[in-house]
Amino acid sequence: MKFFPPLELGWLNGWILLVAFYAVFGLLMLLFPREVVARLYDRTGWSEKIRKVSMAAKLAAIIVFLLIFLTPLNAMTRAFIPGIILYVLGFVLMVISLINYRNTPLNEPVVQGAYRFSRNPQWAALVAIMLGITLTIGSWIATILVASLTILGHLRIVAEEKACLDQYGESFQEYMQKAPRYLLFF
């Protein structure tokens, strides 16, 4: 791993993993009913502060995406195999949690499948995917940026959970007592 590996355009860069993930994610969004996708991206109930945090996170994510796009995969580091494993695990968890999300009636909180182990499996999966990619390209700066984005994302998760409490009330409060915020902890 290097703090800032050399950037170059190439066919064997981290963008391959990023495109693979977003291709599957986009396909799922196209196959899901519009109401489900709208619910997934519902931001009602967010404060102006959380909207600004979310915008800052999106801008930082663009920087991470550029680093990933321009950094070659580095199979010669010790971090490559753990990165691929983390990426694949995150990818599988994301697909499973999106399907669980789709299969839940719109007027109920999502509490089945992967959501039994985490109130936010999609977020945990996305973090695993992004950290996995940064390990495969061997970039400390990209890994640090993803860790920073994770902190900003936590603020967003708290806002989403507050909106779910407002929408679903006691049933979501009971669910919060049963399932950790993130996988198996917190």
pLDDT category at 186 given cuts 50, 70, 90 is: low
Residue 13 within any structural domain of the chain: no
Domain count of the fold of the chain: 1
52 lies in some domain: yes
- pLDDT more than 90, % of the chain: 52
**Residue 18 resides in a domain:** no
Domain that holds residue 125: 48-178
In the chain, the amino acid numbered 112 is: Q
Residue with tokens 């890994």: 143
Give the pLDDT score at 184.
60
Instruction: Give per-residue pLDDT as tens, 40-96.
Output: 887 777 788 888 888 888 888 999 999 999 999 998 889 999 999 999 999 999 999
User: With contact defined as beta carbons under 8 Å apart, do 97 and 121 qualify?
Assistant: yes
pLDDT(21) > 90: yes
Give the pLDDT band (50/70/90) at residue 153: confident
Confidence of residue 27 (pLDDT cuts 50, 70, 90): very high
The reported pLDDT for the residue numbered 140 is: 92
Residue 84 in any domain: the answer is: yes
Q: For residue 166, what pLDDT band results from cuts at 50, 70 and 90?
A: confident
Q: At what angle do helices 121-137 and 80-102 cross, to 10 degrees?
A: 160
Q: Is residue 21 part of a domain?
A: no
pTM exceeding the 0.85 threshold for the entire prediction:
yes
